[in-house]
Amino acid sequence: MPNRRVPYLRPMKNLLIKGAQVVNEGRIELRDVLVEGARIAQIAPQITAQTAEEIDARGLFLLPGLIDGQVHFREPGLTHKGDIASESAAAVAGGITSYLEMPNTRPQTLSRARQANKNQDARGRSWANYAFLLGVNGENMEAVLADDLSDQLAVTDDGLYFEGPGHLLADHPDRLAKVLAHSSVPVAIHAEKEQLVGANEARYRAQYGPAVPFACHPLIRSEAACYEATREAIARAEEEGGRLHILHLSTAREARLFAPARPGVEKRITTEASIHHLWFNDQDYQRLGARIKWNPAIKTEADRQGLLEALREDRIDLITTDHAPHAWPEKEGNYFESLSGAPMVQHALVVLLELYHQGALTLEQIVKKTAHAPAALYGIAERGYLREGYYADLTLVDLDRPWTVEAANLRYKCAWSPLEGQRFQSQVRHTVVNGEWVYRAGRLAGVPRGEALTREGAP
């Protein structure tokens, strides 16, 4: 374990953000925001505070800090790819102030003891707030369901299949039904039919040998493999009355399985779209190859447009990154040797702001799907909104400050991005976590201030 902890100090320093365009709860309003200690003290048209550091935010847009509901930060056991310190630094540089990490580290997070170890590792090292989700599979299912989960944000099987076949709940309807029936918190699953994927893989291997083109990835991890898994999981959730969340939806056909949100009605079956499925399409494999090999696969332009439409219709509830860095040698080689996943936390918000400039999403929709909805869906206490009394997790962005993604400005430990060479119109300027600057005008500021996320009403 790297010895990189810093003293966990919290000097009290008030901040006054003046003249920002505040994007929050469906509105954009010119406001001042006063931060006292770790929390928002006041939001008003005009605020005066003699003892606060004043920030001129004229021309900037102030958003609630993004809550990324799906990341893989690789610690413990895989820290040559990334670690809590490096990837959380990239996250705050991208305006993300909180994250939920999946359990596929080494060892996997399949017990409270391992979860506690990860929380300890993050304290004083994570630049953003954190939660480490408890993994559930056939091996530990009974122990997890016998536990009181009221303090957990969710349980999940995501990423566990990398250690071998048979760990996806979607491939075991009886296990999924039992978890849904007995879990008091959301059950977040990776929905692909591994049997269909395996059959497709064998067919293309027979055709091409090891030199399967990367353009075949969405044909191997196909629409049918995703749709059938999602359809069956929804049916199980409807039968059991469980709280189901489908991770990283990748097809328009799947999106039509989900009902739009209705005011005052709790959605018991929810889903999300990840940044890469909203930005790339299958034509990009010719140019980028292994760089955009993710599971589930990036699919057609019609699927990309269908996911955006489903976000606008509130069929899709969240936007996440599925940030999954690999060392570049792990991405090289043939189709079967190249690992699935890529880094994204530093660039998620600027991608979404580019979609705003293109007219695909509004600023209000972006904030809803990346801050409000994750906080509500996972029951995260006192975060995800700009409200008086809530924690001051804030992101200031400039919508008219063009820049280009280059190797020199990457913060990922893996030191590469599928977006290198991409020019963006908007830029993240400043990020505040728990009332303290952590990123200012292109530089990390202070020391890591992240705290463990807590569930609303948890004991």
Task: Please answer whether residues 396 and 33 qualify as being in contact, where contact means their C-beta atoms are separated by less than 8 angstroms.
Answer: no
Q: How far is Cα of residue 186 from the mean position of the Cα atoms in its chain?
A: 16
- Alpha helices (H) in 150-284, listed in sequence order: 173-182, 194-208, 217-220, 223-240, 252-255, 275-279
Contact 352, 361 (CB under 8 A): yes
The total of other beta-carbon atoms located within 10 Å of residue 382's CB is 17
Task: Report the CATH number of the 65-377 domain.
Answer: 3.20.20.140
- What are 239's two structure tokens? 């039968």
Identify the pLDDT of residue 204: 98
Pairing of strands 27-36, 39-44: antiparallel
Q: How far apart are the first and last CA of the chain?
A: 30
Structure tokens at 207: 């055709």
The pLDDT tens digits for 329-379 are 999 999 999 999 999 999 999 999 999 999 999 999 999 999 999 999 999
Two tokens at 139? 């091996």
pLDDT for the residue numbered 7:
39
Diameter of the chain measured on Cα atoms:
73
What gap in Å lies between CA 369 and CA 72, rounded to an integer? 20
427 forms bridges with which residues in the sheet? 398
User: How long, in residues, is the chain?
Assistant: 459
Cβ neighbours, 10 Å, residue 84: 28
The rounded distance, in Å, linking the Cα atoms of 297 and 277 is 8
- Residue 428's beta-bridge partner residues? 397
pLDDT at 59: 97
- Specify the pLDDT at position 11: 53
Where the chain has pLDDT below 50, the residues are: 1-10
